[in-house]
Copies of this chain bind each other. A is one copy, B any other.
Amino acid sequence: MTTTTPPEVPASLDAVFAPVHSQTAFEETVDRLGTAIKLGLLPPGTRLPAERELCARLGIARSTLRQALVALGQSGHLHATRGRGGGTFVADPQPPAQPPSPEVLAEWRDVCDGRMTVEVGIAVLAAERAQPAGVEALEELVVALDGLLDDFVAYRPLDVRFHVGLAELTDSPRLVKQMTEIQGAMGALISHIAHPPEVLDSANDQHRRLVAAVRRHDEALAARVMTEHLRGTEHILAGLLPGG
C-alpha cells in the first residue's frame, strides 16, 4: 500500500451530487395533465377518458389518479360531473394563469437556453426530414395564426401547436416530448407579459419563413430563422425580468 492520497472528487462535478428529487406518481400526473391543459393540447371542454380507463393507461392506481384530478379540479383546470354520460372535463373557461414563481423567474435564462438548443436542433432535423404533408399542416397553422394577432390568449395555443408540430416532423417521440416540456416551461414565463399585435405579426412572419426553409430542406436557414425567432422572446424577457 502506497501513501499516495487517492484522488478526491473535484468541485466541477457538483451536478452529479446535486439533490435528487424523487418525483412521485401523483406529482408527475399533475404535471403532465396540467401542462397539457395549459398549453392547449387539451382544449377547454375536452372530455378526459374515464378514470378507470385513464389510470390503466397511465399505469397508476385509480386513487393516485384521483388525487391528481382533485388537485387540478381545485385549481380550476378540471371539473367533473357524475352519473352516466358524466366525466371529467377541461374547464371552460380556464382559470387565469398564475404569475410565475420566484424560482421560475430565477432560472429564466436557463430555460431560454434550453429552448434555444432544443428548438434549433429540431429545426435542423425537421428541415432535413420534412415530408410535404407535415409541412402543409404547419402552413395552415401559420395562416390561422395570422387571424389571431390581436388576441394572445387565442394565439398562444396555436403557437404551441406550431412548435410541437415542427418537432413531429422529426418523427422522434423523444423530441416531441422535449418540445412540449420546454413549451410548458416557457408558458409560465410569457403568459404574463404583453404581446402587442406587431410583435406577434413579426413572430408569425418568422414562422412563415421557417416553414419555407423547412420545405426547401435548407437546414442552415432554418437554424438561422429559428435563432432569430427565439431571440425575439429573449429580448422581451430580458427587458422585463431581473438579471436581464
Residues of A near any B CB (own CB < 8 A): 6-9, 13, 15-25, 28-29, 32-33, 36, 41-43, 45-49, 54, 57-60, 87, 89, 107, 109-111, 113-114, 116-122, 124-125, 170, 172-178, 180, 219-220, 223-224, 227
A36 touches B13 (CB 8 A): yes
Shortest Cβ distance from A164 into chain B, in angstroms?
A: 10
B17 touches A54 (CB 8 A): yes
The residue in A42, A43, A111, A176 that gathers the most chain B C-beta atoms within 10 A of its C-beta is: A42
Q: Cβ of A41: which chain B residues have Cβ within 8 Å of it?
A: 13, 16
Shortest Cβ distance from A26 into chain B, in angstroms?
A: 8
Q: Cβ of A59: which chain B residues have Cβ within 8 Å of it?
A: 19-21
| Cβ-neighbour of A6 out of B46, B109, B121 (below 8 A) | B46
Q: Is the interface of A mostly helix, strand, loop or mixed?
A: helix
Q: Cβ of A109: which chain B residues have Cβ within 8 Å of it?
A: 172
A6-B124 CB under 8 A given contacts A19-B57, A110-B172, A177-B15: no
| 10 nearest A-B pairs in the assembled complex, by CB-CB distance | A117-B121, A19-B59, A121-B121, A113-B172, A22-B25, A6-B47, A16-B36, A114-B174, A120-B121, A20-B28
Shortest Cβ distance from A108 into chain B, in angstroms?
A: 11
Q: Cβ of A124: which chain B residues have Cβ within 8 Å of it?
A: 116-117, 120, 223, 227
The residue in A18, A19, A20, A41 that gathers the most chain B C-beta atoms within 10 A of its C-beta is: A20
14 contacts between A and B (CB under 8 A): A7-B46, A9-B42, A9-B46, A16-B33, A20-B29, A22-B22, A22-B25, A22-B28, A23-B23, A110-B172, A113-B125, A117-B178, A118-B118, A220-B223
Q: Cβ of A58: which chain B residues have Cβ within 8 Å of it?
A: 17-20
A114-B16 CB under 8 A given contacts A7-B43, A46-B9: no
Q: Cβ of A54: which chain B residues have Cβ within 8 Å of it?
A: 17
